[in-house]
Amino acid sequence: MPIAGITDYHHVRITVTDFAVSKAFYDEVFGFDVAVAVPEDADQATKDALWWVFGGCVYSFPGGLLGLRPMAAAGDTFDSDRVGLDHLSFAVADRAALDAAAGTLDGLGVAHDGVKELTDAGIAILEFRDPDGVALELTAAL
């Protein structure tokens, strides 16, 4: 018998190689509010209390929580063909929001392939990658 009562996603945490670089990227691209972070000047008691943040941060946005966990070894890279995450997609209001997002990415120098319409699926998507190569996507209904 399957688990009953699941209502939504709660959070996703992404493991990153360089927290400062990844945090700057996610701050600039998404501008999510930081819900929890270990302060740089935190004393040991604070670090112990926030052990579950793993020295990273947790963002809050209307869809839930997104965490960055700085635990990957330098030089490690994301591969959507390995077991685990394929990509992470965020919903936006409409096609106009995707077009605006493409302009934002252009302004930030973030590579992308432009908005693609998947008419059979009834959606349009904008794909790009974070500094570790994690595949990110914005999706809107057509």
SS3 43: coil
| Structure confidence at residue 118 (pLDDT) | 97
- The radius of gyration of the chain's CA atoms, rounded to the nearest angstrom, is 17
Which one-letter DSSP state was computed for residue 73? Answer: P
Ramachandran bin of 114, using left for φ above 0, alpha for ψ from -120 to 50, beta for the remaining angles: left
What residues form DSSP beta bridges with 140?
Answer: 124
According to DSSP, the β-strands at 88-91 and 64-69 are unpaired
| Structure confidence at residue 119 (pLDDT) | 95
Domains of the chain: 1-72 (no CATH), 85-142 (3.10.180.10)
Which residue ranges of the chain lie beneath pLDDT 50?
none
Report pLDDT digits (tens) over 61-93: 998 999 999 988 888 888 888 888 899 999 999
Which residues have C-beta within 8 Å of that of residue 6, sequence separation ≥ 6? Answer: none
State pTM to two decimals: 0.91
Closest C-alpha to 69, from 26, 15, 22: 15
